[in-house]
Structure formats: structure tokens, C-alpha cells
């Protein structure tokens, strides 16, 4: 009992008193420093965020053929092999590509980035229209998962048999 009483007294003695108010009655409020928001600062922050995103995604997809590369300009390139992206002659997103797109959409939802999509042709189908349909399918998937239409663009066909997604900082308005 004596030990418990001593502990209560000790704990009560550790309490700090509230700060005293100046004679005017209210304490002066300090304004937090606003971080610099220059375009160069924003671009550097975006590049740092993309480097972190690359590490996060690479860890999530370790052991898969999905490739995550931080490019010299600071953008993040994601390559998903055609076999895991679309069925032959089709433009419907397959579940492995959907898993990658889900993570990209969620990770970039509140970032100042732009996503550029390059879809491959299908060597077996040999249809130029299929490239556009596949790119539109990926575009629509990302929009449906929260990215603004103004942040998702379609480039020309991917050079290799991969769906290529490049995440880069948004150009200044």
C-alpha cells in the first residue's frame, strides 16, 4: 500500500504545469514556416517520392517478371510482360497487370505525377488498332481507380513486348 501511494505521488509530481499566459491574457501564436514551393523543390520532392515508390513496388512484386526502374530523369518506369498483361488479340486487362495498376493508382493518387502508358502490339494479332485499344484499356483502368484523366496519357506503342508505364512529375502549369 505504501509503495502504491508513493508511486501515485511520484507520478503526480512528474506532471508539468501548463504554460503561463502573458499579462495580455493570451499566448502569442507562432505561425508555422511554410516550405518552399518552387517548381525545383516540388520536382525534387516528386523524384524522391518516386524513388521510394520504386522500392515499395519492387518489394511487393519481388519474384515476378515485373520490372521497376528509376530512370536518369527521376521518372519511374514499370514494364509488365505482355503475357501477364493481355490475352492474345485482346485488350482486356489481365489480373497480374491489374495488380500492378492497382498499386500504381493507389500510390500516386495524391502525388503531383503524370502516368504515361505505352501498350504493345500483339505479334500474333498484328493489328495496329489493338495497340490503341490496349492503351485505352489501361488508361480507363487507372481512371476508374481514382487518377484524374488529365494525369494519365497514352504514348505510342511500347518498343518491347511489355506494357510500359512511366510515372513522372507533372509539368508546371
| Distance in angstroms (rounded) separating the CA atoms of residues 137 and 135 | 5
Per-residue model confidence (pLDDT) at position 160? 80
For range 82-99, the mean pLDDT? 93
CA distance 119 to 125: 14
- What's the pTM value of the predicted model, to 2 decimals? 0.71
Which comes out higher in pLDDT, residue 32 or 149? 149
* Phi and psi torsions of 140, nearest 5°: -65, -35
pLDDT in tens, 102-122: 999 999 898 889 999 998 887
Superfamily name and number for 40-169: OmpA-like domain (3.30.1330.60)
Does residue 97 register a pLDDT over 80?
yes
Residue bearing the bigger pLDDT, 128 or 76: 76
Mean pLDDT of all residues belonging to the chain: 78
Span 24-76, pLDDT tens digits: 555 445 444 545 566 666 666 767 788 888 888 888 788 889 999 999 998 99
Maximum mean pLDDT: which of 12-21, 40-49, 93-102, 154-163: 93-102
Determine contact, residues 79/164, Cβ cutoff 8 Å.
Answer: yes
Distance between CA atoms of 162 and 86, rounded to whole angstroms? 10
Residue 8: predicted pLDDT: 36
Amino acid at each position: 500500500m505504501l509503495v502504491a501511494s508513493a508511486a501515485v505521488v511520484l507520478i503526480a509530481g512528474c506532471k508539468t504545469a501548463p504554460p503561463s499566459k502573458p499579462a495580455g491574457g493570451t499566448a502569442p501564436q507562432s505561425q508555422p514556416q511554410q516550405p518552399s514551393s518552387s517548381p525545383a523543390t516540388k520536382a525534387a520532392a516528386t523524384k524522391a517520392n518516386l524513388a521510394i515508390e520504386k522500392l515499395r513496388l519492387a518489394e511487393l512484386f519481388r519474384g515476378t517478371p515485373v520490372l521497376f526502374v528509376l530512370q536518369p530523369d527521376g521518372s519511374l518506369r514499370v514494364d509488365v510482360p505482355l503475357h501477364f498483361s493481355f490475352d492474345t488479340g485482346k485488350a482486356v486487362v489481365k489480373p497480374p497487370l491489374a495488380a500492378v495498376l492497382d498499386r500504381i493508382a493507389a500510390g500516386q493518387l495524391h502525388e503531383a505525377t503524370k502516368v504515361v502508358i505505352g501498350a504493345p502490339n500483339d505479334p500474333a494479332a498484328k493489328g495496329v488498332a489493338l495497340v490503341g485499344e490496349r492503351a485505352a484499356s489501361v488508361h480507363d483502368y487507372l481512371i476508374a481507380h481514382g487518377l484524374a484523366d488529365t494525369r494519365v496519357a497514352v504514348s505510342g506503342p511500347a518498343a518491347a513486348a511489355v506494357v510500359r508505364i512511366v510515372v513522372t512529375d507533372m509539368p508546371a502549369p
